[in-house]
Amino acid sequence: MTEASAPGKIILCGEHAVVYRRPAIALPLADLRARVVVEPGDAGSGITIDAPDLERRWTLASAPDHPLSALIVSVLDHLSRDAQSDVPAPALQIRITSTIPIAEGMGSGAAVATALVRALAAHLGHELPAEVVSTLVYTSERRFHGTPSGIDNTVIAFERPIWFVRRPATDNPAIENLIEPVTIAAPFRLLIGDTGVRSLTHLPVGEVRQRWQAETAHYESLFDAIAASVIRARAALAQGDIRALGALLNENQALLEQMGVSSDDLDRLVAAARAAAALGAKLSGAGWGGVMIALVMPADGERVAAALAEAGAARMLETAVERQVNV
């Protein structure tokens, strides 16, 4: 038996603009993970995938076009090329579980794909570097989202806070994209408020693309303004200025609202968090549902959580972002 896992992620700031080659900062969520267990199957049974959280069980042969089936084939193909010989499809039982909410901007799909790549490769005797895992997962993500930014697969595969800038379109984003570690001089806490509304990433991403095509100059100015706030957020993190970071999260939210990717549910939770003493609050991810984040001081966490519950949050999560100094 071989087991591997991968974390969820949260975008601290820069979503949507990152698709248009502006910077974004993303954080792994170590306490929320997808897990994949690979075990030998009965001889001749092929590969069976069991995903109880999705209430789905299938074989590779019966659903070859499923994104995870295609990913398995991609991993086997990669291992064959790497070994310069065919890696036959073995008889395997693959079980996928996850504590990451689905379709809520927390990287569930990329985390499952990352854990699957790691577990399958390890079971077959290969240890893939993070950049290779990231590339394989990016290819899988394109089957889900059409035009993913590349940020989910990167922060999840590398499992560290990152500064990310997308480069021109490529099949190898781990090499071509600008990826840098982020210095976090002082720890901080985030509350994650779930609207309970699932939001498929490709829908708001596609809508923003249509609006950008129709009003290019206006949306380019919004993307530039988001980039400027993200640059200042990186500086605030490096300086340990958590209050300044909170103000920048609020600024980022205002720009996302202008872009049309917030929603009444998100706006209500953001407003409730701010009124209850959060230092800053914004949506995180594609928007139109999903989750928001609130930056809180430890003494204010319970008060903000209560305000989010009263405002209708379907559930709440809390994550501690630890100090990280990169030399």
Mean pLDDT, residues 81-106 taken together: 82
Q: Which 3 state secondary structure label does DSSP give 315?
A: strand
Mean pLDDT, residues 212-233 taken together: 98
Calculate what percentage of the chain has a pLDDT beyond 90.
75
Say what the pLDDT of residue 177 is.
78
Element (H, E) at 143: helix 130-145
265 an active-site residue?
A: no
Catalytic: which of 42, 50, 53, 152?
152
Mean pLDDT, residues 280-286 taken together: 95
Q: Is the pTM of this model over 0.85?
A: no
Sign of CA dihedral 164, 168, 172, 178: negative
Locate 53 and state its tokens: 């959280």
Q: List the one residue out of 77, 92, 51 whose CA is nearest residue 136.
A: 77
CATH entry 3.40.50.1970 includes domain 188-321:
no
If you average pLDDT over every residue of the chain, what do you get?
Answer: 91
Bridge partners (DSSP) of residue 2 are: 38
CB 282 within 8 A of CB 44: no
Confidence label for 174 from pLDDT (cuts 50, 70 and 90):
very low
- State the fold for domain 2-181: Ribosomal Protein S5; domain 2 (3.30.230)
Say what the pLDDT of residue 85 is.
65
Q: List the one residue out of 188, 302, 284 whose CA is nearest residue 243.
A: 188
268 vs 103: which has the higher pLDDT: 268
Burial classification of residue 171, based on how many CB atoms lie within 10 Å of its CB (0-12 exposed, 13-18 middle, 19 or more buried)? exposed
Confidence label for 327 from pLDDT (cuts 50, 70 and 90):
low
Confidence label for 262 from pLDDT (cuts 50, 70 and 90):
very high
Task: Please count the other Cβ atoms lying within 10 Å of the Cβ belonging to residue 277.
Answer: 15
Q: List the one residue out of 240, 316, 239, 231 whose CA is nearest residue 281.
A: 316
Is the predicted pLDDT of residue 145 greater than 70, yes or no? no
CB 14 within 8 A of CB 226: yes
Is the predicted pLDDT of residue 173 greater than 50, yes or no? no
Residues 6+ apart with CB under 8 A from 197: 263, 265, 288, 289, 290
- The residues spanned by each domain of the chain are 2-181, 188-321
